[in-house]
Amino acid sequence: MRLRCVVLDDYQDAALEAADWGRLADRVEAVPFRAHHGSQDELAAALADFDIVVTLRERVAFPAPLLDRLPRLRLLIASGMRNSVIDHAAAARNGVTVCGTGSLPHPPVELTWALLLGLARGVVTENEALRTGGPWQSTVGADLHGRRLGVVGLGKLGTRVAAVGQAFGMDVVAWSPRLTAERAEAAGVGLAPSKGDLFSTSDFVTLHLVLSDTTRGIVGAAELALMKPDAYLVNTSRAGLVDQDALLAALREGRIAGAAADVFDTEPLPAGHPMRTAPRLLATPHLGYVSRANYRTYYREAVEDIEAWLAGEPVRVLGG
């Protein structure tokens, strides 16, 4: 009897086309779920008959109470090599192997710049007006050249974002809790003397930090109050980095020119969530990693993970 594998949240019906699942056809039946299951009860019922689960990034949490309700589950694969919403100790206790996949750095970097440019040049507003017979030109774009880009987090993604800013002729500075002058110099950017200085002097601020106990809420009311009234904030990393209530207040009161967000405290975003109607907000439904090349990487390596696990030699095993 073949094992059963479910691919969660395959919204675009893309998972089975992105890799050669046929290699597993005689041993594994792959089933895509196109709809999101929002509660643990829904997930427990939906996943009860599956031996293998493939999940994208941190879309779906696997805490201990859920894992304890899935006695048939033996292999859990999450795209990327870091996942904070899987209880690894509970997985081990239940005999579930957890594996990851590679993830490309350029898709979220490219989306960061799509959002930043969309904000700066009023792309959505102007496009909507053009398509609906609205005014011909109603916004005055914000220039990038010669203005300051503040990069919060100068890791793999932040460094790439900074390089694009430099290509636009921007003055790029960076800050993070552990960023050193040597690392900033190696990336060719200035080291902001403090978080406050970065927020108060930057025309655009973009966030590229891993969410942890030390970075959660790192952008709050105090940081937003420091921003210039014509400055913009972009977050394609994690919603938890920003105090969402403080951001909504700043947008509603016009204290900053605008913000872009690709990540939210609840995903998919509920229909009545205030982020859906916030003024001065350019929002996308967590598209940072959603690209053809990334999906090919995720699902190709998911197939490899399954093959290796079936052979008794699992690869890319994730711990706590």
Measured CA to CA, the distance from residue 282 to residue 125 in angstroms comes to 10
Could you confirm whether 273 is annotated as catalytic? Answer: no
Residue 84 or residue 93, greater confidence: 93
Q: Residue range 12-33: average pLDDT? A: 97
Q: How many whole angstroms separate alpha carbon 307 and alpha carbon 314? A: 8
pLDDT 10s digits, 246-279: 999 999 999 999 999 999 999 999 999 999 999 9
Rounded to the nearest integer, the mean pLDDT of the chain is: 97
Interval 188-219: pLDDT, tens: 999 999 999 999 999 999 999 999 999 999 99
pLDDT at 308: 98
Q: Give the phi and the psi of residue 98 in degrees, each rounded to 5.
A: -115, 125
pLDDT digits (tens, 9 = 90+) for 67-78: 999 999 999 999
Is the model's pLDDT at 58 over the cut of 90? Answer: no
From 267, 280, 296, 300, active-site residue:
267
Q: What is the pLDDT of residues 218-254, one digit of tens each?
A: 999 999 999 999 999 999 999 999 999 999 999 999 9
Q: Is 238 a catalytic residue?
A: yes
pLDDT at 320: 63
313 is catalytic: no
Model confidence over 85-96: pLDDT tens digits? 999 999 999 999
